[in-house]
Structure 1
Amino acid sequence: MSGVTLSLKGRALRYLSAREHSRSELARKLARHSDDADEVERVLDELTAKGWLSAERFVESVVHRRAERFGAARIRQELQQHGIDAAESAAALDALRQSEPERARAVWQRRFGSAPTTPADKARQMRFLIGRGFSADVIRLLLNELPRDGSQTADAAD
């Protein structure tokens, strides 16, 4: 768009056409292009009223993109960083917690594939999974159900 300055609404639509954004994230991006905070809020209100800016869609988008690699705690943290409050993300995070054991196993399988053979290996695997946002209870359950001889699990052998 050589030489043409985009309106705030045009910029917002451009950002939203690439991916879902949270209100606070979009406000931060638009604030760089306007000295009038009220104007930014008016644009955001209009986009929300027309359904182009949606916290629910943003939550679904983040959950969809991140669920395969991260636990509910890490995804909740990311949503909070984007200005999404607990009430807006509660249903999606509750659903994530239901599938957390399977998702933790899949992440563990891709990264490690075999049971830890030493306490140091077990601690390393636990730290990795905690860093990915999986709950300590889910991690303990996962690592306790692994074979003790260090052999590969049935999933890793396939």
Structure 2
Amino acid sequence: MSEVAKEIQGICLRLLARREHSQKELLDKLALRGFDKDDALPVIDELAEQGWQDDLRYAESYARFRIRKGYGPIRVGYELLQNGIAAFDLEGIVKEEAGSWMGLMEQVYSKKYTDDTVLDRNEWAKRSRFLLHRGFSGAMISALFDELNIRFL
């Protein structure tokens, strides 16, 4: 193993000792430190073969963290995509953490807002934007408002 490869491996192991990283994250961090992608990729692949780095394990860890923070499927999926994870099933994790996306959204909503059932347009739009920003779809938000009997004037 070359000196550059040993240095890359050391950096990667230090990063992975702190928390899980996707391959893309490791490549990006190494690029910021001036390492060539062609030098880094074989080292990262070797770490993956040895079990030090695993994109699936990273995706599960990251999804659990974000779901616990109250983020919805659109936001979590997008963030995973940004970190190099193209397809990942979030349903099993959300069932373990919150029961369902609707249950999670209701928890997030109830934590932030009171039980008002009649809202003016501005307040209704503000609450909808909050949930949209958290990563819940418009259809999910409408279903939540219907379930909680929230109407606007």
**TM over 0.5: same fold?**
yes
Are the equivalent residues in 2 in contact too, given 1:34–1:40 (CA < 8 A)? no
Is the aligned partner of 1:84 residue 2:116?
no
Offset at residue 35 of structure 1 (A): 4.0
Question: Normalized against structure 2, the TM-score is what?
Answer: 0.82
2:49 corresponds to? 49
Identity of aligned residues (%): 34
2:3 corresponds to? none
Offset at residue 108 of structure 1 (A): 0.4
1:35/1:121 CA distance change after superposition, 3 Å:
closer
Counterpart residue type for residue 42 of structure 1: P
5+ residue gaps, structure 1, are 1-5, 151-158
Offset at residue 36 of structure 1 (A): 3.6
Offset at residue 102 of structure 1 (A): 0.3
> Structure 2 CA distance, aligned partners of 1:76 and 1:118?
32
5+ residue gaps, structure 2, are 1-5
Are the equivalent residues in 1 in contact too, given 2:145–2:151 (CA < 8 A)? no
Offset at residue 34 of structure 1 (A): 4.7
Are the equivalent residues in 1 in contact too, given 2:76–2:135 (CA < 8 A)? yes
Offset at residue 30 of structure 1 (A): 1.6
1:8 corresponds to? 8
> Structure 2 CA distance, aligned partners of 1:18 and 1:82?
17
> Structure 2 CA distance, aligned partners of 1:123 and 1:144?
15
1:9/1:71 CA distance change after superposition, 3 Å:
same
2:76 corresponds to? 75
2:102 corresponds to? 101
RMSD: 2.2
> Structure 2 CA distance, aligned partners of 1:148 and 1:11?
52
1:40/1:80 CA distance change after superposition, 3 Å:
same
Counterpart residue type for residue 23 of structure 2: R
The number of residues matched between the two structures is 141
